[in-house]
Amino acid sequence: MNPRKNSLYTAMRDPILLLGAPSRIQDLLARELRALPAEVLRDEDIAGSSLRADGVHRKPSVALVPEHEIRTDAFEQQLAELRIRTGVERLVPIAFGRAPSEARRRALRSAGVELALFGRFGRHALRFQINRAVSSWARRRPRGELRAPMEWRTRTFSSGREKAARCYSLSSGGGYFVTPRPWVVGSELAIELPLARSKLLLSGHILYTHVPGAGEDRALPRGMAVAFDPLSLQVREAIRKDVTATQHSLLV
């Protein structure tokens, strides 16, 4: 796949395996994946998958699986068999669909499913979860503030100028914001965020920027990482509340 030169997004390295019977939701999800951009491999059923090592040029490392189609008593074995057939060393499943009950979540975790996209989600959450799946996040101790993907449209202000941006991920310490023209690293700025049913203007500075094609190796949209200046306890707790609520739909 050859993404457009001016695309806001960096191409995913490996194909994404999309499992499940054909449906409108599957087609929509496939379009969103290709827009990241990522190559998409589709198969109806993990148990009867036709994927074989000799038929897959590039190996998938992430499998998106409809939650309602996962048989928890057989899924771990089915996933292991699929890895063997395709020659994939590591294939991380992400369950998607309606949020299940707590009992169902426990069963999914026991079957080896940890990541999820439950309920409604946007392209940023999709990319965030795929990045998480291919990273070593599961083998690291959590550090720093909890963060989560957001889809907020916002505005940034610096040196008397304004730029539109969209929040990609957020924590009470800062966030990553998608924009075609990031501010310069080190710039002081103010950023408008919709928190606690109002719009708050937070100050901070640019830690780093990412422009695809500039020799960097980050699977991120074009944009900038912002560290917030010290926040009041009320604002920190408002951000943490939003982040925690979002994380509940991302972890089984």
* pLDDT tens-digit series, residues 234-244: 999 999 999 99
Last residue of a domain, one of 102, 120, 139: 139
| Same domain? 135 vs 168 | no
Torsion angle (degrees, nearest 10) of CA 130, 136, 141, 142: -20
DSSP tag of 67: G
| Same domain? 49 vs 152 | no
pLDDT tier at 72, thresholds 50, 70, 90:
very high
The CA distances from residue 47 to 71, 72, 100, 222, in Å, are 10, 12, 22, 38
Task: State yes or no: pLDDT of 2 exceeds 50.
Answer: no
State the pLDDT at residue 225: 97
Structural domain total, the chain: 2
Mean pLDDT (the chain, rounded): 88
Last residue of a domain, one of 139, 165, 182: 139
| Same domain? 135 vs 25 | yes
Report pLDDT digits (tens) over 101-155.
999 999 999 999 999 999 999 999 999 999 999 886 555 545 578 999 999 999 9
State the pLDDT at residue 221: 87
Task: State yes or no: pLDDT of 12 exceeds 90.
Answer: no
| Same domain? 128 vs 186 | no
Q: What CATH number does residue 196 fall under?
A: 2.40.10.220
| Same domain? 236 vs 157 | yes
Are 135 and 202 in contact, with CB atoms under 8 Å apart?
no
Evaluate whether residue 199 is within a structural domain: yes
Q: Which domain holds residue 198?
A: 148-246
pLDDT tier at 3, thresholds 50, 70, 90:
very low
State the pLDDT at residue 13: 78
Burial class (CB in 10 A: 0-12, 13-18, 19+), 140: exposed
Comparing 13 with 186, the larger pLDDT belongs to 186
State the pLDDT at residue 51: 74
Last residue of a domain, one of 139, 174, 203: 139
| Same domain? 113 vs 184 | no
Evaluate whether residue 251 is within a structural domain: no
Evaluate whether residue 86 is within a structural domain: yes
Evaluate whether residue 8 is within a structural domain: no
pLDDT tier at 49, thresholds 50, 70, 90:
confident
| Same domain? 125 vs 175 | no
State the pLDDT at residue 212: 67
Evaluate whether residue 2 is within a structural domain: no
| Same domain? 77 vs 115 | yes
Q: What CATH number does residue 38 fall under?
A: 3.40.50.2300
| Same domain? 132 vs 26 | yes
| Same domain? 22 vs 123 | yes
| Same domain? 107 vs 185 | no
Evaluate whether residue 7 is within a structural domain: no
Percent of the chain whose pLDDT exceeds 70: 87
Evaluate whether residue 4 is within a structural domain: no
Report pLDDT digits (tens) over 157-175.
999 999 999 999 999 999 9
Candidates 198, 214, 162; CA nearest to 183 is 162
